[in-house]
Structure 1
C-alpha cells in the first residue's frame, strides 16, 4: 500500500479531550463507553508497545477482577479490533505475548503531535526564536478538546490523564512566557486571570499575571494579585510565596526597570523557561520549608540525584542518618519541597513515625492516613496490615510520588510503607543506618563545617552583625560544635535581642562552660543547648514547657496550655509566645477561634519531658492531665450536642470537665464535625492519656463521645482502639456502667462493619448490665441496636418488640434523636410489609421529633425513608424533589455513603418518571460511590437498576455488562429475587 493510500484509510485517535476515534472522512467512530473505551485508552497511552493482559485487567477492574477477567479482556479486544479494522481496512491491534499492541503512526495520535510540537517549541526558545515558539505552542494547544481522557472511569487512566493535563498547563505557561517576551501583555491578561482562578496555588501563573498587569500600567492590580495569592497559600498550605514571587513583588513596588520589555529604557534578563511547574498536587502533606535554610549544598545535590535517578524496576530509597539535632528532618523537608514540582508531580506523603517518642506510629495507622490522602474513602480502608499495604502499593502504582518517613528506628518495620513500583521514591530520616532496609542508599548528615555554620548565623541574625564581629562568630560556632539545632537556638536568641553583641553572647555561653563542653558528646549537645535556653525562661514559662510535653503530637491549640496551667487563655497565650520567642516552640497555624496553634520540635519535647519527670510531682502531672483531657471531653461533648441537638444517643460519665470560655467554644465549634476531624489525633491520644493517668470516668466518656466522629467519617480502627483502651481502664476500676456503655458502643461498631455475631456478643451483656443497674437510657440504646440486629436477620417480630421497648426508654429519658431513629426504623418495617399508612405515620412522627431536637444528621436518614415511601405510593414528583434536595445536602458534606444510597433511590424515581437520561446519571453516580465503598451487595443492585435503564436507552451491550457483574454478587449474598430479575433481563439482551 502506498503512503498516500495509507493516509486516506487511516484512523485518527484523540486522547487530549474525550477519547475519540475519527475516520479518514472526519466521521466519528463510536467506541462503546466502559470497558472498550478503557482498553483502547490503555493501548493508546502505550501506542506501539505491548500491553499485557494482566495490566489491562488491573486497569479495567483494579482490585477485584472476576474469575473470567482474562476471557472478558479477550472478548473486549476482539470487539474493539473488529470495529477499528472495519473502519481502517487492515489489522490495528496485534496479539503479541503477553498481551496486545496497537499500531499507530505518528500522525494518527494527537498526543504524539502535541509532544512533538512542544519539543520543537522548546528548541525554538533555546535559539531565541520566540515567534516560531509561539506558533508551535499555539498548534500544540489547539490539539486539545478538553481535559484528557475525560469520561473514562478507570482510576489508572485518570492518573495518566492528570499527568497529560499537567503537560497542557505547562505548555500554556510556556506560551504566556513567550507572549510576555513578545510584548503581548495586554492580550494575555484575560487568559491568565482565568488560569490563576482555576489554579490559585500555581505561582508561575500568578507571577505571569502580575508582570502582564504591571507592564500594562496596572501596578496596584498586580500587587493585589500577589496579596490574594499569599493569603491563599498561607490558608491552604501554611506557606509563604516562593522567593521568585516575593522578588517580583519587591521589584514592582520599587518600579524596577528590569521588569520592562527589552526595547524599554532598561531590559530585564530573559525569563527562565525551564522553571519547573508547580503541580496542583493531591496529596501535599509536607511540613513547611525553613525560610532561612542554609548549607547542605552537597547533600542536597546528592539526595536529589539519587531520588530523581532511573532506578530501573526498584523503588529508590534514600536514608538520612545522623545524630539527634543534626538537622535530618529539616534537610529532608527542604529537598522534598525542591523536588516536588519537577520530579514528583503526583504528590508527597509525609509522616512523622515518632520512633524517638513514647508512642511511635504503627504501620497500620500510617497506611490508613496515606490511603485516605490518596483518595481511598474511610469506609474502604482495609482492616489488616497486609491488605492496607497491598492497596497502598496499588494506589501508588504509576504515580510519581515522594514518600517521606521521618524519625524511623528499624528498617524492617518500614517495609509495609514502601511503594511497590519504581515511579515513586522514599526519603527516610533516622538516627541509625537502618541496615534492615534492603536497597537503601544511606547519606550521613553531620554537623556543619565552619563556613556553613557562619552562613546560618548570617542568614538568621543579619550579615552586618556577623561581619562586624567575625572572630566572635567563629568562636560561637566552635562552642556549639556546628550542630544545627544548637546553633539555631543561639542565633534565635541573638535575633530576638538585637542590642546584644556576638561578643556578649559568647561571654554568656562561656560562663556555662561545663554544659558547652558536653556539646561534643552526642545527644548531650542538644540537651545542654536546650538547658541554656530553658534556664533563661520565667518560672511559669518553664512549667508550661514541661507540662506541654504531656500532649501527644507535635502541634496543639492555645487553650491546651490554659488547661494544663489552669489559667485563662490569654495569660497562657502570653507564656506560649515567650516560648516561641526563644525558639522552644513554633507557630504552626491559626485555629478556628483565631488563636494560634503551636508545635514542638521533637528534640525539645523530649527535653521538656525529661525536665517534667525531674521537677514535677506525680500528683501535679496527674492533675494537669485531668484538666487537659477534661478540656477535650468538654469540647467533644459540646460538638455532639450541636450536631444532634442535645445529649442524645450518648451516655456520659462523671469525669471532671474543664470548660472553655464561651467565646472560644463558639469559635472552635462553629463547624462541630470539622473541629472533630481537625483534632482527630489529639482526641484519640486523650483517651490513652486519661487511661494512663487512671482517670477511667473521663476515659470511657471521651471514647463513647468520639463515636460522633468515628461514625461520620468511618474511622473504624480508632473506634475499636479507643474503646479497647477504655474497656481495660473501666474494668480495672470496676466501673460497670462505663463497661456497659463501651460494650454497647462496640456493638454499634460491629453492626457498621456487618459483623453480626460479634455485635450480639457485645450488645446482650451490655443490655443485661444496664437493666441490672437501672440505667433506662443505656438499656434503650442497647435494645435499639439489638432490634436492628433482629431486623437485619429477618426476625421482624422480635425487632418490632425491641424497638417498642427502646422507644419507651428514649421517651422516658427525653432522648429525641433516639426516638426519631426508632420511629424511622418502625416506619421502615411497616413499609417493607406494605403498610404504607402506618409507615407514613411513623416517619412523619419521627421527623416531628427530629425537628424538635434540631439535629440535622438523623433528619437526612428519615427524609430518605420518606422518599422511599413516596416512591411506593407513586407520588413520583414529590419523591424526586425530596431525594434531589437530600442528594445536594450529602454532596455538600462529602457523605459518600449517603450519596450512594440517595443517588440510587433517586435514579429509580427518575426511571419511573420516564427521565431515562437523568436516571442513568444518578445510577452511575450511585454505582461509583458503591464501588469506592467496596459495597458489592448494594452495588450489584445499582447495576441491575442501571441495566434496566440502559436497555430502554438501546445500550444492550452495557446493560449485559452490568448484569454480568451483578449476578455473582446476588448469588454470593443469597439475593434470589434480584438474581432472578437479572437472569430474566440478561436473556433479553444476550450475554456479555
Structure 2
C-alpha cells in the first residue's frame, strides 16, 4: 500500500486511492508541521511553537494526544518519539487544489503559505518557460498581472509567433500597471526583452524535433520501457539482434519523455555523431574538437538524444552532458562505455507477438487459426520486423490463410529459401548480419544451424566444425555478442529458430 499527502488546499492524506480522515484542525496542524519539515527531527518545543502562537501549559498534553491519534490513523509512518522529538518521512504531492494549508491559522503557517505559494508559482513559470504556450502564458499573466517574469515570457512567445505588435503592447500594459499599482518602472529583464524586440535582435533558440514518428501499432516492451524511463536522464543502451525493434523502442521512449526534455529531441544515424548533434543546434561546418564544442552548446540544456545503430564506442564516448538524456541503439553491447544502463531486447513475448500480429493482420483471421499463427510466430522467433512483413503479405492476400503461408514457406525451404521469395524484407536483418560475419563465424553458425538442435556446447561445435575448442569458444562468444546465438551457462548456447532456419539453408564453407 502507498501513502501520500497534500498540503495544497486542506491538509489531506490517501492510502492508495482512499482518502484518510485526519481529525480536527489542530491535529491536522501538527501533521502539517511535520510534513513541512519532512525528514527533519522536530522537538516537542518546536512543534508546539509552530502549531500554537501563544501556547498554554496544556499544549504539551494536547500534542501527545494528537500524536497518538496520528499514529493510529497512519501506522505506516512509524511515528515514534525519539530524544524528545519526532521525525516524519513521507511522499508529498502537489495536487493544485487550492490555497496551501487551507484552514490552518497562526504565524508559522501564514509564512509557510507564502513560501509554498511562491514555490508553486515558480514551478508553474518554469514549466511555462519550457513550453512557451501563448494561451497558457496569457492565462497566467491575467491571474498574476504584476509578475514580470511570465510577462517577459509571453512577449517572447508572441514575438516567436510573429506577433511583434502584441508583444510590445504587453510591455506598455505592464509598465502602466506597475506605475499605477506600485509606483515603479518595469525591471531589467522586462526592459531588455522590450529593447530586443524593438531592435529585432532577439535570437530565437533552435529547438530540434527530429524523432521519427511513433509507431501506432507498437506493442509490448513494458518492462524495458519502465527500466529506461527510470534511467533517464542518463545514458541508456538498447541492444539486440537486427530486426528486434531497437529503433522502434528508442523512438517510443523519445515520444514518451517529450515534456522531460524541453530543449528538443535529436535523432542521429551517422558515423560522425558529434557533427550531426552540432548541426541539429545550428552549428554548420564545425572544426576542432567537435565533442567539446557540443558539450559547450548543450551545457545547461535538456535534450533527449537518440543515436541509432552505434558502430563503435569512440563515436559517442564524450557526448554526455548533465541534464540531457542519451539513448543508444547498437547490435553489440559497448561495454567499454561507462555509466550506461544496458537493456537487451529479443523477440516479443508470446502474448505480445500475438497481439502485434493481430494489429498487422485482421484479428479475425489470426483468431481463426491460433495454432498456425503460433507456428508462424515461433518460426520467426517472435521478432517484430519479420512479423510485420509476413503480416503485411497476408493483408495483401485476403483469400490466403496462415496455413497457406506456412506451406509456401515449407516448399521454398526445401528449394533452399527460408521464406517466400517476395518476402525478402523478412530476411533483411539476417542478410545484413551475415554480411558482417567473418568466414569462421559464418561457417560455425551454418554448422550449428544444420545440427538442428536448440542448444549446443563448445565441444559439439568444435567436433562439427573441426576446430580447436579454445578458438571455437571465441567465435561463439563473438556470435553471442551480435545476438545470433544466446549464451546460457558457460560453454552452452541456444540458437533462435529464425536464425537456425536461415543459416541452416546456407552452404557451409570449409575452413582449413
TM-score interval for Structure 1 and Structure 2 normalised by the shorter chain: 0.3 to 0.5
Greater share of residues in helix: 1
For normalisation by structure 2, the TM-score amounts to: 0.45
For normalisation by structure 1, the TM-score amounts to: 0.24
